[in-house]
Amino acid sequence: MKSRLRFTLQLGFTLVVCLFMIVPVAMSVIAGLTENYFVGLQSGLTLRWVNEVWQLYADTIWLSIKLALACLLVTIVIGVPAAYGLLRSRRRWANAIEELLLLPVAVPGLATALALLLAYGSYREFRGSWLFILIGHVLFTLPFMVRAVLSVMQTAKLPQLEEAAASLGAGFRQRFFGVVIPNCMSGILAGALMVVTLSIGEFNITWMLHTPLTKTLPVGLADSYASMRLEIGSAYTLIFLVMVVPLLVAIQWAGKLTQQHH
């Protein structure tokens, strides 16, 4: 009886917390689809606001996707070898280097962005291009790719596998592409999902680095929250959720997948 009561109390508390998490999201979704939120749902459902957002902000969405993919490409090309390098370095060095690479995550994005601006802001051409934002995103997401790949490399007993391949006569290139890469695919996948999600949602760095011509989705969101009516902000948020929730689900799924692997 006592345990029954305890269970009910805990479940009730959990449900309250769930409400706290889900109610504002639900309200935002409803607001984005309502004709006039001030009047309420009786004013009717509409896709008008979503359309309007698309007219106003479509370029921010495309830029965010472009940035995320470019960021993914860069983090894979430099992050996977970096993880391998860490795996193969002496423990002390590897720890120190990892600590360094983590700094852009440990330090608030605002500070990183400020540092970038003050150092490279005077290069007009560079400052005004989307590549300037890409730099910020790469700095911020790289540790997530490295960590995801490295942890899979460590649990996959990669050094032993590589030694086995070497004993069979495989050269470095054959080992890297034939043994290393295939065996850390799940880590690359998990890292990739993380990188894309973080890049699409990145605001703190991007807000400082963007120009009127290089607005990303979160920048546009902040813009609409400040200057547009509630319905437009909500519709815009809805579009963002539609883009990012599948990615979050995929991250959880990938996490479970790698867990089962081990």
**Could you tell me the smallest distance in angstroms from the CB atom of residue 113 to other proteins?**
9
* Interaction between residue 66 and other proteins (CB under 8 A): no
Q: Which stretch binds other proteins (CB under 8 A): 23-31, 45-53, 123-131, 184-192?
A: 23-31
Q: Which stretch binds other proteins (CB under 8 A): 41-49, 65-73, 184-192, 248-256?
A: 248-256
* Interaction between residue 110 and other proteins (CB under 8 A): yes
CA distance 168 to 171: 9
* Interaction between residue 174 and other proteins (CB under 8 A): no
CA distance 210 to 228: 20
Q: Residues 179-218 vs other proteins: string with x where CB under 8 A? A: ------------------xx--xxxx--xx---------x
List of residues 6+ apart from 250 with CB closer than 8 A: 193
* Interaction between residue 164 and other proteins (CB under 8 A): no
Q: Which stretch binds other proteins (CB under 8 A): 43-51, 53-61, 101-109, 184-192?
A: 101-109
Helix axes 48-88, 217-227, angle to 10 degrees: 140
* Interaction between residue 103 and other proteins (CB under 8 A): yes
Q: Binding residues for other proteins, how many (CB under 8 A)?
A: 91
**Could you tell me the smallest distance in angstroms from the CB atom of residue 60 to other proteins?**
13
Helix (H) or strand (E) holding 62: helix 48-88
* Interaction between residue 168 and other proteins (CB under 8 A): no
**Could you tell me the smallest distance in angstroms from the CB atom of residue 88 to other proteins?**
4
- How many beta carbons lie within 10 A of that of residue 130, not counting itself? 18
Helix axes 91-106, 130-155, angle to 10 degrees: 140
Please, what is the Cα angle at 241 between 244 and 189, to 5 degrees?
Answer: 10
Choose which of 53, 61, 63, 86 interacts with other proteins (CB under 8 A). 86
